Amino acid sequence: MKQPAIILIRPQLGENIGKAARAMLNFGLSDLRLVAPRDGWPNPDAGPSAAGAGSVLETARIYPTVEAAVADCTHVYATTVRDRNMPKPVVTAGEAACQMKALSAAGEQSAIMFGPERSGMTNDDVALADTVLTIPVNPDYGSLNLAQAVILVAYEYFTVRDNTPAYLPAHPEGLASKKELVGLMEQLETELTAKGFFRSEGRRGPQRRTLRNIIQNAGFSTQETRTLRGVIKSLVHGRPE
Amino acid sequence: MKQPAIILIRPQLGENIGKAARAMLNFGLSDLRLVAPRDGWPNPDAGPSAAGAGSVLETARIYPTVEAAVADCTHVYATTVRDRNMPKPVVTAGEAACQMKALSAAGEQSAIMFGPERSGMTNDDVALADTVLTIPVNPDYGSLNLAQAVILVAYEYFTVRDNTPAYLPAHPEGLASKKELVGLMEQLETELTAKGFFRSEGRRGPQRRTLRNIIQNAGFSTQETRTLRGVIKSLVHGRPE
């Protein structure tokens, strides 16, 4: 299955190319394409910033033009924050991720283009794209750098396929049974009665109910219930020799 | 409406604090809290990396301990990549974003904790969290740096689509603040120490952590926390005349 390619157009700093490679590999992407990197290629500043993602740099392909870089692609996204006023659909990173997943499944090669650090893509670059990909940011402060833009797009692609359950149980080893919880309640009530905690027979019912609700609703595991029984015993009797 | 706070625990490099501030502001977050930054505060390396997000650095609050930093919070997430084997729910960044939206809407203060660059959070740090937040990454290459982790969490919060609360708080009248929970933990530890509950200095740390996790995860309300403090006092000292 073809993964989306990441295309960096005329990137300026080798350090940013390395960081982009690292961002890609964190989320399972490895098809890096560089269009006319300013300082040539290979760039000695890229490797140290890649932090273990050197494999992505080693297999990166270099192209003289954007046209050449996108030649084998059927759907290309232009990442931009500025409003381009171009007659193209505009999608969020999340929507683009959904589309690219469908494209990958259909055997299509998709790609996401990112412009140079300082100036962004030219209108000629954007004209080669099918779709504008926009990353929603704080309208009062939009200041994403190149590697940050890459990591957000890669993250969206990775998580759109993520099958990790959103919620894992807090106590895989087993919640306490009601019998265990009642045992804890009764032990606590016995000790509190001996200590005169319940102020009167009339107050005893409501106070007892309050304590039982606390224990009931806390979601204790079997092991935690056992620990708490030891705690109560220690508080009253100290540690047995 | 209270936005989630970002808590950096013992951050090492000022540059990374600046980058985290920039990542936050890109996605509308501004409540930055620093616990014992290694090189003190203010740090001259932070400003240049913040790239216009200096306002976040200027209003950052500094705390000596994690306990102090989370004191006003009712729901705290620990960001971690390693498996902690702790009895806490584990959620993805996306699910955490949904939860935090619901918490914000209910007027609750939530927070996301990030550990030091090199070592990550200690188990004692994680014990103060309600929930573990995990960012799904490439299983063959997980290499997120601090600012990248912050930006992904902030991005998820900013872009969370569904505003329907995923769940309603169990205690509409008010979950206990972390300060109240730590007060309960400390009272219990003091009494148990006096009773010889902790078997040895070596066992003390793990036993203490177990108890703190039990209290942390039970979802006690302010009123319940007060009741339990009375219970401990009665168990040890009996009811005062």
pLDDT in tens, B58-72: 999 999 999 999 999
Q: To which residue do tokens 């301990």 refer?
A: B65
pLDDT at A170 > cutoff 60: no
- Chain A positions touching B220 (Cβ under 8 A) are 214, 218
Please report how the helices B201-217 and B178-194 are oriented relative to each other, as an axis angle in degrees rounded to 10.
140
- Chain A positions touching B224 (Cβ under 8 A) are 210, 214
pLDDT at A38: 96
Neighbours of A128 (CB within 10 A): 17
Model confidence band, residue B164 (pLDDT cutoffs 50, 70, 90): very low
CB of B191 within 8 A of CB of A238?
no
Model confidence band, residue A164 (pLDDT cutoffs 50, 70, 90): low
List the beta strands (DSSP E) in chain B: 5-9, 32-35, 61-63, 75-79, 90-92, 110-114, 131-134
The minimum CA-CA distance between B26 and chain A, rounded to whole Å, is 5
User: Which of A91, A141, A175 is most worth mutating to test chain B (most B CB atoms within 10 A of its CB)?
Assistant: A141
Report ipTM for this prediction: 0.72
pLDDT at B17: 97
- Chain B positions touching A19 (Cβ under 8 A) are none
CB contact under 8 A, B91 and A228: no
- Chain A positions touching B234 (Cβ under 8 A) are 192, 195-197
Average pLDDT over all residues of chain B: 89
- Chain B positions touching A25 (Cβ under 8 A) are 138, 141, 143
- Average pLDDT in the A42-57 region? 94
CB contact under 8 A, A170 and B92: no
Model confidence band, residue A235 (pLDDT cutoffs 50, 70, 90): very high
Instruction: Choose among B25, B143, B239: nearest Cβ to A26.
Output: B143
- Chain B positions touching A159 (Cβ under 8 A) are 92, 94, 136
pLDDT > 70 in chain A, percent: 91
| Token pair belonging to B116 | 């030091």
The minimum CA-CA distance between A225 and chain B, rounded to whole Å, is 9
Instruction: Choose among A227, A235, A239: nearest Cβ to B191.
Output: A235
CB contact under 8 A, B210 and A191: no
Q: Which phi-psi region, left, alpha or beta, contains residue A219 (left: φ > 0; alpha: ψ -120 to 50)?
A: left
CA-to-CA distance for A127 and A114, rounded, in angstroms?
13
The helix or strand, by DSSP H or E, that contains position B202, with its residue range, turns out to be helix B201-217
The minimum CA-CA distance between A10 and chain B, rounded to whole Å, is 22
pLDDT at B163 > cutoff 60: no
CA-wise closest residue to A123 among A93, A86, A77: A86
- Average pLDDT in the A206-211 region? 87
Q: To which residue do tokens 């306990």 refer?
A: B67
| Token pair belonging to A130 | 């099918």
pLDDT tens digits, A136-159: 888 888 889 999 999 999 999 998
Q: Range with the lowest mean pLDDT among A85-99, A222-236, B155-169? A: B155-169
The set of residues, in sequence order, having a beta carbon less than 8 Å from that of B169 and lying 6+ positions away, is B103, B106, B108, B175
DSSP string, A64-92: SSHHHHTTT-SEEEEE-SS----SS-EEE
The set of residues, in sequence order, having a beta carbon less than 8 Å from that of A206 and lying 6+ positions away, is none
Residue of A nearest to B230 (CA): A197
CB of B80 within 8 A of CB of B133?
yes
List the beta strands (DSSP E) in chain A: 5-9, 32-35, 61-63, 75-79, 90-92, 110-114, 131-134, 167-168
- Average pLDDT in the B185-193 region? 95
Dihedral sign for Cα B80, B84, B88, B89, please: positive
The minimum CA-CA distance between B194 and chain A, rounded to whole Å, is 8
Entry pTM: 0.77
Query: Using CA atoms in the order A51, A56, A57, A63, what is the torsion angle rounded to 10 degrees?
Result: -150
The set of residues, in sequence order, having a beta carbon less than 8 Å from that of A170 and lying 6+ positions away, is A219, B87, B88, B89, B217
- Average pLDDT in the A92-116 region? 90
Dihedral sign for Cα B126, B132, B135, B136, please: positive
pLDDT at B166: 42
Identify the residue with better confidence: A204 or A175: A204
Helical residues (DSSP H) of A27-64, grouped into ranges: 46-50, 54-58
CA-to-CA distance for B233 and A197, rounded, in angstroms?
9
